[in-house]
Amino acid sequence: MKKLINGVDQVVDEMLDGMVAAYPQYLKRLDGFDVVVRAGGSEGKVALVSGGGSGHEPAHGGYVGKGMLDGAIAGAVFTSPTPDQVFEAIKAANGGKGVLLVIKNYTGDVMNFEMAADMARDEGIEVEQVITADDVAVENSTWTTGRRGIAGTIFVHKLAGACAEAGGSLKDVKAVAEKVIANVRSMGMAVDACTVPAAGKPSFDLAEDEIEIGIGIHGEPGVNREKIGPINEIVDKLLTKILAEGIYNTGDEVAVMVNGMGGTPLMELFVANKHIKDELDKKGIRIYKTLVGNYMTSLDMEGFSITLLKVDDELKKYLDAPADTPAFVQA
């Protein structure tokens, strides 16, 4: 295994210190905790807090800043943060208007974030939560009851964060988050698995001519393995499954995210995006905005995911709103 680290036990700690050193205008780390919050605080607004295992960078700390998150917790690689870490993030991010937790649907995350929410409520902090579950590949998985939360979570951060920045109440911000969750779907694939530093080997094995369809973001294998073909055929498989949900119809407008899994060249992501546009054009589904890049990764995995978000005037307003974070800047 080749990893550019000093040691497995140090990697998350050193990563967070390196992030704060790079972006002190955005981020402040809580002493003694794997938590980053807005450097300037979040007084007078609803705060959004999210997080999960490390290894998904730029998620989640990269989205802490104006128009998105107020706090993010980094667990060990692919491991849920502990309740006390989440609790500290809630307290530090709280600006007096309540806190919304954005939780990806993994059993450990849901359990630990909910425990932390109860701890915060005991201290008089108003806390609400939403759970993202946008992955159409599987109904249940190794680490979930129900669908997994994957790259579509970034749209929740962006749109609910914009509502909070605009002065929305906790009820308003939660309603926007839930509206996004109801209208967002994703599916991914892998050319090669990722290597977790502590494991020292790929999370699953693929032959030179094989790909994995329907992977998760924690190195989980997908729903089926097949021979690699042209990327247009791969896009068709993912897009067909997403469109089969029945929520994207002729005349609808969507935001598209083509998300790299960490080790995929942008060249290949743009090739995928071309075919996505061609296919949506054929179906009369109009693209309002497109994002291409690494938004929710899986360490060094080679592959990509497709996310569609159906938008109306309200969601377009929040999608277009300014954001200023280390990983997402929009004027």
* Catalytic residue list: 56, 218
Kindly give the pairing relationship between strand 224-227 and strand 210-213: antiparallel
What DSSP line would sit under 308-329, residue for residue? EEEE-HHHHHHHHS-EE-SS-E
Instruction: Tell me the helices (H) and strands (E) count for the chain, helix number first.
Output: 8, 14
* Total count of residues recorded for the chain: 331
Distances (CA, A) of 203 to 80, 144, 214, 217, 260: 18, 18, 15, 11, 18
Asked whether 65 and 326 are in contact (CB, 8 A), the reply is yes
Residue 180 burial by CB count (10 A; 0-12/13-18/19+): exposed, middle or buried?
buried
Alpha carbons within 13 angstroms on the beta-carbon side of residue 91 total 15
Identify which of 54, 97, 57, 14 has the alpha carbon closest to the alpha carbon of residue 262: 57
**Tokens coding 262:** 């960490």
